[in-house]
Homo-oligomer: A and B are copies of this chain.
Amino acid sequence: MEGIKDRVAIVGMGCTKFGELWDKSPDDLMIDACWEAFEDAGVDPKDIQAAWVGSTMSGRRGTMLARPLKLEYIPITRVENACATATDAFRNACYAVAAGIYDVVLACGVEKLKDTGFTGLPGNLEIITSEVTPPSPPPMQFAMAATRYFHHYGLSYEQGKRILAKIAVKNHHNGTLNPKAHFRREITEEQAINAPMIAWPLGLFDCCGVSDGSAAAIITRPDIAKNFKQDYILVKGLGIACGAQQAVLQNTYDYVHFQENVAAGELAYKEAGIKTPREEIDIAVVHDCFTITEMIIYEDLQWSPKGRAPEDVESGFFSLEGGLPVNTDGGLKCFGHPIGASGLRMIYEVYKQLQGKAGPRQVKNVRTGLTHNLGGSPGWFTSAVAIFGRRD
């Protein structure tokens, strides 16, 4: 087997502003994101030989992208993989290019989540399937993770709550520096700690928002990427892992780590040739659906030793000026979370950071960036990790 490292390049990306975009349809959002990507790459839609579109609820089948973009008679695949939808659409596009089937392809993710009435509660997403999903909404599932983490590592409610607040404060700060973010205001630790409780111990600011948005990427081979632009970005590793654990139903699930994250990280690090992730990853954009999720990700992806993430949060290791800035664009917390678009929104931030085009939130000397998604429910998550680097 041969990995994906340095075999595909991104030559253009686009991303809409995220938010409650009541005056935009999914078609409008895809057009906005894809045309920014076309213009960034300097390609004409007629140059696109195949496409992948990710959405969980805002459209079906490949024609959902063909019609708004007038991409007639090319292959377009719709991918759905919960919160990892857009990353998996991107991944399949990369493999088709790496196989040499196509030279220039498009990956797009979209979600018009506000129109669906989606609240993260069961009754919309879960009940329409035949899955044996534990009947608890995401805030409850991740509240259990927070409770277990606090207990397992001996944090009091006050200690744990303050650590989580620091993560929310960091992501809110980063969001203020991002004109495309859904939420753009600073909050204080006290505001986060004293906010209305959603699912104990998670309060309002521990939870990400529900947003509309779209993001897109133009993918090609490195040997022709330089025809598009000099500062193209290379894919270094792609790892996805799906869980099939019975532990949740058997009440033996530990909730202080998510094995799908560990497995996806290991797959991507192996492909990218990364042995010391804490040192080698320069920035990361991860799936902070809840503050506790981001903290567990720090450990699952080998940036903090087990149980030691709180120390790294205290020291500011993951802030913009820290050793490994995480969610430099505001994360799900503030950029927002249109489910089928989030993976490509993350890649958009890493792409801009690697190019040195991230504006006021630019991190210095970014050479390797990582994105991470976590979709589904404890025990049967889909976790996706993607790693990117500069050509030089």
Contact = CB atoms under 8 A, between A and B. Distances in A.
Contacts of A130: 25-27, 58-59, 112, 115
Counting contact residues on chain A (CB < 8 A from B), the size range is 35 or more
Contacts of A316: none
B380 A75 contact: no
A77 to B, nearest CB: 5
Contact of A376 (B61, B79, B241): B61
A77 B81 CA distance: 6
A22 interface: no
10 contacts: A1-B49, A60-B125, A61-B84, A61-B375, A63-B380, A67-B244, A70-B244, A75-B240, A75-B241, A77-B91
A242 B2 contact: no
Contact of A79 (B25, B78, B84, B99): B78
Nearest to A89: B77
B73 A263 contact: yes
Interface in A40-97: 49, 56, 58-67, 69-82, 84, 88, 91-92, 95-96
A181 interface: no
A262 to B, nearest CB: 8
Interface of A: 1-4, 7, 25-27, 49, 56, 58-67, 69-82, 84, 88, 91-92, 95-96, 98-103, 112, 115, 125, 129-132, 239-245, 259-260, 263, 267, 375-376, 380-382
Contacts of A58: 129-130
Given A59-B130, A63-B376, A129-B59, A245 B72 contact: yes
